[in-house]
Each structure stands twice: as structure tokens, then as C-alpha cells.
Structure 1
């Protein structure tokens, strides 16, 4: 691993647990892997514009006006950041059973034919093979079992989009029960810290 792209999508800023876990992980990486190149995007505080008519038109051919040119330039930049990374680290809280709209917008701009996927007679093919993704997904309740399992669209949605662009190496760190009281929250966060440290080969005392 030589480069990492980090995406935060919590709207809660420093109070967001997914942001806290991503921030702590990046701090540990900078301390223990100073040679690692890290690119960060905080989609909660600096959201990507939602995919609109100008973006759609720009992806289909040469931009015809400044707005389309800007949309294409943004897509180019986001794709370049993704292509340059070996690892994609995503903070993805669950909002109303799905991902934040800002994170969906990021995917809308990077899921681009000819750049991150292609079409063939055999169907679509992801072009970003060989990359790793680690997704920290937080939620106040628990959606692991029973009928509630069907209400969590975060994991299947992200898995589908990542698979589509060729990032099939996926590790999901699910941090649940955050609204079940201080003890349950602390236990969930501690378990997530252990999982993240293991996935990235970090010393736990410095990843916490």
C-alpha cells in the first residue's frame, strides 16, 4: 500500500462516529506509515455537487458550455484521485436506511463509462481492479438480524457500486448500537478500532 483515498460523509462533523474512526485511523497511518500518500475528501463539509443535467451532458461528449466543462473537470479530478489510490477508506453512516446523498453524488461522478467501467458483449466490466476498499458504516440501531436486516441498504448499495467499477476487495466494519447507551456505544467503537487496526496492520494503541 502506497496511497490511500479517504472519504468522510457524516453530516455531524467532529461529533460523527464514522468521522472519528476515520480520523483516528488516518492519524495512526500518518504516524506509523509516514511514507503513505493520503488524499482526503470530507463530503460532509465540502459536498460534491449532485449529478445534474450538465454533468449528464458532459459525460456524453464534448462540453458545450462552462457548466458542462466544470462538471467534466470535477469528474476527471475525482476519478484521478481514485485511480491513484491503492486503498479506498470510506466513512458511511446510515441515514434513513441508506448512504448520505453526498457519498452517492461522489459515486455518480466517478462511475463513468470508459474510465472506471466499460461495456462489452459479456456485459459491464469494472476497470479499477487490484484496489482495496474499507468501509466504516455507523448506525444508531442494529440491522444485523431478522426483519431489520432488510432495512439496511448501505452495505448492499456500496457493495454493488464498488463491484461495478472493479473494486471487489471490500471490508465492511459495521459499527452499530450507537444509540443504545454509553456502554453499548463504547463497545461498538472499541470493536471497530480493533477491526480497522487489523485490516491496515496498525498497532492498536496508536489506532485508538
Structure 2
């Protein structure tokens, strides 16, 4: 059965544009593939633990030798990695927060970046092991960062593309909802344009 992993991270709840657009995209992708399932990972309501000493040491400690705390935090990461591998497509939603992704989404990236599991090192350098997946990044911002003078301040999309690409996910589409702080008309237009794009992307999937 096909699986769509929906990762949301906005703290704005029902008011979040990125969550709304990403959810609608996931639903459209699901409708395109009858029998597919949406697996939702809401990082705002259920944040992952940030990596700490037990995690950093636990991932390199044999399972039978891990402390109870190490088993717990590494177990969380293992579940996140399994969820990622099980997905055929991944929809990631975030707001542009202080020019980058949310800290909760960064924690998710930290949990899925696992040497020996999602990437490896060989004679030719690093190799991403999470391949054959389509990724959609839905990002909302108060200003316009896709072009113009503020483009250099967008560290979110370049970072996500780099991190995902390092793990083997290079087929990435970006859906921007930008300029939402520039008045009601601009906000409505930004959301409408993003929703139109999700329809096009779902048809092309």
C-alpha cells in the first residue's frame, strides 16, 4: 500500500497556512492513488526530543548495551526513520521562522540523519540511502523570499534541499505561500496560488 508521510511543524495550529496547504496536497495525492494512506507527523503538538548526550552515545552503542534512557531516545529515532522509509512521498510543512525552518522540524531532520541507516560513507564519499521518494516542501512566509532583495535571507529551502539530498531525496518540489503579512488581499492570493499549485502537482504525480 502506498504511503504519504505528512510532516507539519507550525505552532499556529488551525491558523497555519503551511499546514493547511500541505494537508490539502497530501489529500490530493491520496485521491490520485486509491488505497494509499496518509501518515501524519505533527511536530508542533508532539515535538521530538532534541538530540542529547544519551542519543549521541546511544546510536553508536550496541542495542544490548544501551541504558534505558539510550534505548528510549534511539527508539524514537528508529521509529521516525522507519516511518520515512515506509513512505512513497513526503510532504513537509514549515513556516519561515527567523529565516529558517522551525526548531521542531530541525529536530526531525536530526533524527532521520543516521549514519549507517539513512546515509553511509564509502570510498567515493557519502551516499544517501533514502532513495526513490518524491518530496514536497510547503513553506509559508510573511514576506517574499523566492526572489528580490530578501532572497538571500531564506536559509530554510536551501537547508532542507541540502539535508534531504544528502540522504538521497533529490526529487523535491517547493510550494511557497509568501507575502502573507502584506495585507489580506496578498494573503488570500498567496494561499490561493499555493493551492492551485498543489492541484497541478497532484495531477502530475
Shift of 1:168: 0.3
After superposition, the C-alpha distances for 1:97-144 in whole angstroms (9 at most, x for unaligned) are 000010000110110011100001211100011111001000000112
- 1:56-95 aligned at under 5 Å gives the runs 56-62=56-62, 63-95=65-97
Secondary structure at 2:149 match in 1: helix
Comparing 100-109 with 31-40, greater Cα deviation is found at 31-40
Cross-structure match for 1:98: 100
RMSD: 1.6
* TM-score normalised per structure 1: 0.92
Runs of 4+ with >6 A deviation: none
Which of 184, 187, 200 in structure 2 is aligned with 1:185? 187
Secondary structure at 1:25 match in 2: helix
Cross-structure match for 1:157: 159
Cross-structure match for 1:206: none
Which of 117, 135, 138 in structure 2 is aligned with 1:136? 138
Count of residue pairs the alignment pairs up: 202
Cross-structure match for 1:111: 113
Secondary structure at 2:121 match in 1: strand
Secondary structure at 1:14 match in 2: helix
- 1:14-93 aligned at under 5 Å gives the runs 14-30=14-30, 33-62=33-62, 63-93=65-95
Counterpart CA distance in 2 for 1:105 and 1:78 is 11
After superposition, the C-alpha distances for 1:66-104 in whole angstroms (9 at most, x for unaligned) are 110011111110000000001010001100000001000
Comparing 141-150 with 91-100, greater Cα deviation is found at 141-150
**Structure 1 residues 14, 172: closer, same or farther in 2, change over 3 A?**
same
Secondary structure at 1:112 match in 2: coil
Cross-structure match for 1:2: 2
Secondary structure at 2:47 match in 1: coil
**Structure 1 residues 122, 141: closer, same or farther in 2, change over 3 A?**
same
Structure 2 unaligned segments of length 5 or more: list them.
none
Structure 1 unaligned segments of length 5 or more: list them.
203-208
Shift of 1:3: 1.3
